[in-house]
Structure 1
Amino acid sequence: MHQEQVSHARADAKYRQMTQRPVEGLILRLSLPAVISNLVTMAYNLVDTFFIGRLGTAQSGAIGIAFSVMTILQAVGFFFGNGSGNTLARELGKHNEERASKLLSIGFFGSVFSGALIAVLGLATLRPLVVMLGSTETIAPYAIEYLTPLLCAAPFVCASFTMNGLLRYQGQSAFAMVGLVSGALLNLALAPYLIFVLKMGILGAGLATAICQTVSFCILLYMSRRHSVIRLSFHSFKPSVLLIREILGGGLPSLVRQGASSIAVTCVNLAANPFGDAAIAAMAIVMRIMLFINSVIVGLGQGFQPVCGYNYGAGLFARVRRGYWFCIRISTALLAVFAVALFIAAPHLIAVFRSDPAVIAVGAFALRIQCFTCALNGFNMMSNMMQQTMGMTGIASFLALCRLGLFLAPTVLILPHVFGVLGVQMAQSVSDVLSFLVTMPFQRFILHRLKGDSAIRIH
């Protein structure tokens, strides 16, 4: 009984904080830990790319192949984390802690079980898998070495992303940050030790990633047990058709977004394949750099999502609109500044990861092309995250699919036949513009329906 009283008091205090404090300061406070988590996580991905780049061009290309698999693991983690978290935040906004607790448990255990299934299937089909993802004969052995330990840790990788999301949606971003950052910092030391000191090469890089993701999982699980607004327990793991439907609705946009991202990365690898290992390696480096930049905007959106969920659940629609426009202004300004810096430093940035002149030539030009359109992603991503948090599954899933699936995948497969390697380099920018044009009318309609606190709920 005492535990239930403590949990209820904690939930009530969090409700007052999320629905009464000034929106701008609240979003910044919640987004700062998320931004730090994303930057540190992306930094250790870039460090992996840097260290592996010292081994050779084929090894650098293997990272581009492995990235597709990592994206799938993230997709599963985000599906359960966002699927449970979106509805969880709205339920907390309605003071429905019991239902929120069930969503928390279903999301966590569903992620663990799904990760275990991916591990079994992935390890059983690893060789044909890497070939299907675009490996050349020289890249395939290295991709297999890197992916073997990573797939073994798949249940923990998926659950780490899930737990990070579930803590964020409860407004506990700082505790989510501790778990992810701890694993990332460990990887900064462990990866070079295994790669160079123990001379394990790319296998050491994969093993370091697997170990560090497992450490992050353990820390996040501890944080959730101690500091979650609602308790995580197997006793609350009671799936029902209604709850599963809620999770599917909330998580489908994330699954589509990440799944389409994996397909898009594979399409980029396949499109770059005819131009050799240098083109695959260059595009892998460019994708990592752009992910690092976009991670700042994703972190801002992750700070907005719990605010959006709580206030939308509580019927405070004016606060939802105010928070959204605040995030649009900040994200667009930041991306514009990053674009200028990246355009100037493009060749030097690529050279940091791989000094091969062919890699630098392809990568620097691709990075500069993306600088012209990357500022549009603030609007694209923030709008999509808002739609998902509000439970608008159909619109959110469609727009998530547009940027990386409906637009990028065919674009990157068609343009190289017309423009050669330039088609690979410009495909992402073309996709960004098309996504912006499609997102605009949908978001205008949604914002019109959310005018003031008397707005009608959109389902």
Structure 2
Amino acid sequence: MAIPKLLFQVSFPIVVSMFIQSMYNLVDSYYIGKINEEAFTAISIAFPIQNIMIGMAVGTGVGMNSLISRYLGEKNFEKSNRVAETGLSLAIIYGIILLIISRFLPRPFLSAQTTNENIINYGVDYLQIVMGLSMGVFMQIFLERLLQSTGRSIFTMLTQLIGAILNIILDPIFIFGYFGLPAMGVKGAAIATVMGQIIGALFGCFFEYKFNEEITIKKPVLDLDIVKRIYVVGVPSMITITIQSFTIYVLNKMLSAISTSAIAALGAYFKIQSFVFMPVFGVNNGLVPIVAYNYGAKNKERIVKSIKLAFLAVTGMMIIVSAIIIIFPRELLSIFSASGKMLEIGIPMLRICALSYIFAGISIVGVAVFQAFGNGILALFDSILRQIIVLLPVAYIAIKFFTVNEIWWGYVIAEFASILFVIYFMNTFVRKN
């Protein structure tokens, strides 16, 4: 198939499904913001833990996806099935581990970032549920990646669509107590989230069994050699997201010295970012199996065409997104019932951070190409450069010597440094392979 048509066909359903996925993240935040700002601040502080959970699932999925696509390109169907069976075992193991640690981790984690007891209690209620019932999200992402690795992105979209719509419907019912149910507040938002993930996983299981003919899963298997191969690619991706979570944790601690409204504003930024980056991640996830397949098939020309087209697409998207955020920051923050103090901090924050998005799209696609080639180490180095070497030092200097507004310029500087890194290694790596 022609590359533009193929990239569109694989990516478009993923773009739609990821928009939907981020929509129910926004809907959660919208309704929780209506409880009060303390509740919204609590889920903002809890975000790094959720992010690490998603990072574990996505990192495993990225490694599995890349490996399966490569084996399919080589027509090695026995190996691709073995990878899928090992991925299933890993999803089950992670769900069990998080169920155990959900009993004792949330409170000390939250207490390390704030002394506000109401915020801590809200956060504990939320995290204990989303961590304890995380089997749903691990299974959902595992099944989505299987479908995606064989080009069945439409079923990935349907899996996420079903889970997201259910979450959106259940959020106000559980949070505010409609149809005779008790008002559960933040707990209700967490229950709606995990229910959406579990139902999405069940539909993903159906689609995999019924329509994914290239992959057959007979039983969970833990093949240690395949685990190693998955995490050669996946661990750097997991560490990358863990670094992001660590960065948010440190920034929250820095901002707590200013006010809880500053933490809430940062939380709103990440909610908006998770939404506006969805088109880029959609192209990104569509690009990985195309590049990995053609890498296995040793078709360099199609690899280069795919990368160039992805760069053009995401750059156009990010220019449009940046313009919207710069023009309408107040309206975007109002989604979260922002207080006057949160608006005072958040409006300049969004306008400054929006400038970084133009660079960020290209960096994200570059990292996807490294992963598709089976080299996640470069993706890890890029994350360390952006968040540890550049962003955190700039934020520390800004808080120490300037005002809160200067913190956000760290994002612009970090993304510019990242794009230089990605372009340099992209040229080197593509020529070499």
Residue 434, structure 1, aligned to residue 417, structure 2: yes
Structure 2 counterpart of 1:227: 211
What code does the residue aligned with 1:394 have? I
What code does the residue aligned with 1:371 have? A
Structure 2 counterpart of 1:335: 318
Equivalent pair of 1:81/1:251 in contact (CA under 8 Å) = yes
Larger deviation, residues 436-445 vs 303-312? 436-445
Cα 1:215/1:404, change in 2 over 3 Å: farther
Residue 310, structure 1, aligned to residue 290, structure 2: no
Larger deviation, residues 231-240 vs 141-150? 231-240
Structure 2 counterpart of 1:76: 56
- Which residue among 278, 288, 306 is the counterpart of 2:271? 288
Structure 2 counterpart of 1:15: none
Q: Measure the CA separation in 2 of the matches of 1:114 and 1:140.
A: 25
Q: Measure the CA separation in 2 of the matches of 1:69 and 1:232.
A: 33
Runs of 4+ aligned structure 1 residues displaced above 6 Å come to none
What code does the residue aligned with 1:397 have? L
Structure 1 counterpart of 2:163: 183
Q: CA deviation at 1:134?
A: 5.4
Equivalent pair of 2:66/2:374 in contact (CA under 8 Å) = yes
Name structure 2 gaps, 5 residues minimum: none
**1:252-271 equivalence runs, <5 A:** 252-271=235-254
What code does the residue aligned with 2:96 have? A
What code does the residue aligned with 1:390 have? F
- Which residue among 386, 408, 427 is the counterpart of 2:369? 386
What code does the residue aligned with 2:272 have? I
Structure 1 counterpart of 2:391: 408
Q: What is the TM-score of this pair, normalised by structure 2? A: 0.95
Deviations 1:236-294, CA, capped at 9 Å, x for gaps? 625033x2221111212321221112112212211211111111111101111011111
Q: What is the TM-score of this pair, normalised by structure 1? A: 0.90
Q: CA deviation at 1:328?
A: 0.3
What code does the residue aligned with 1:343 have? I
Equivalent pair of 1:112/1:156 in contact (CA under 8 Å) = no
**1:240-255 equivalence runs, <5 A:** 240-241=224-225, 243-255=226-238
Larger deviation, residues 128-137 vs 355-364? 128-137
Residue 23, structure 1, aligned to residue 23, structure 2: no
Cα 1:110/1:427, change in 2 over 3 Å: same
- Which residue among 345, 348, 355 is the counterpart of 1:372? 355
What code does the residue aligned with 2:201 have? F
Residue 210, structure 1, aligned to residue 223, structure 2: no
Equivalent pair of 1:254/1:400 in contact (CA under 8 Å) = no
Cα 1:240/1:441, change in 2 over 3 Å: same
Equivalent pair of 1:76/1:115 in contact (CA under 8 Å) = no
Residue 32, structure 1, aligned to residue 32, structure 2: no
- Which residue among 369, 373, 381 is the counterpart of 1:398? 381
Q: How many residues align?
A: 429
Equivalent pair of 1:23/1:319 in contact (CA under 8 Å) = yes
- Which residue among 119, 132, 148 is the counterpart of 1:139? 119
- The 3-state SS of whatever aligns with 2:103 is helix
Equivalent pair of 1:271/1:424 in contact (CA under 8 Å) = no
Q: CA deviation at 1:138?
A: 3.6
Equivalent pair of 2:77/2:214 in contact (CA under 8 Å) = yes
Equivalent pair of 2:51/2:241 in contact (CA under 8 Å) = yes
Structure 2 counterpart of 1:13: none
Q: Measure the CA separation in 2 of the matches of 1:133 and 1:99.
A: 45
Structure 2 counterpart of 1:56: 36
Residue 112, structure 1, aligned to residue 92, structure 2: yes
Deviations 1:215-239, CA, capped at 9 Å, x for gaps? 1111112221222243343546250
What code does the residue aligned with 1:270 have? K
Equivalent pair of 2:89/2:222 in contact (CA under 8 Å) = no
Equivalent pair of 2:37/2:338 in contact (CA under 8 Å) = no
Q: Measure the CA separation in 2 of the matches of 1:293 and 1:341.
A: 10
Cα 1:148/1:236, change in 2 over 3 Å: closer
Identity %: 23
Equivalent pair of 1:27/1:300 in contact (CA under 8 Å) = yes
What code does the residue aligned with 1:337 have? I
Residue 67, structure 1, aligned to residue 51, structure 2: no
Equivalent pair of 1:399/1:435 in contact (CA under 8 Å) = yes
Q: Measure the CA separation in 2 of the matches of 1:324 and 1:229.
A: 28
Deviations 1:189-230, CA, capped at 9 Å, x for gaps? 100011112311111111111111111111112221222243
What code does the residue aligned with 1:209 have? T
- Which residue among 137, 149, 159 is the counterpart of 2:129? 149
Cα 1:403/1:163, change in 2 over 3 Å: farther
Q: CA deviation at 1:312?
A: 0.8
- Which residue among 97, 104, 117 is the counterpart of 1:124? 104
Q: CA deviation at 1:164?
A: 1.6
Q: CA RMSD in A?
A: 1.7
Q: Measure the CA separation in 1 of the matches of 2:387 and 2:92.
A: 26
- The 3-state SS of whatever aligns with 1:275 is coil
Larger deviation, residues 387-396 vs 317-326? 387-396
- Which residue among 325, 329, 335 is the counterpart of 1:346? 329
Q: CA deviation at 1:448?
A: 2.8
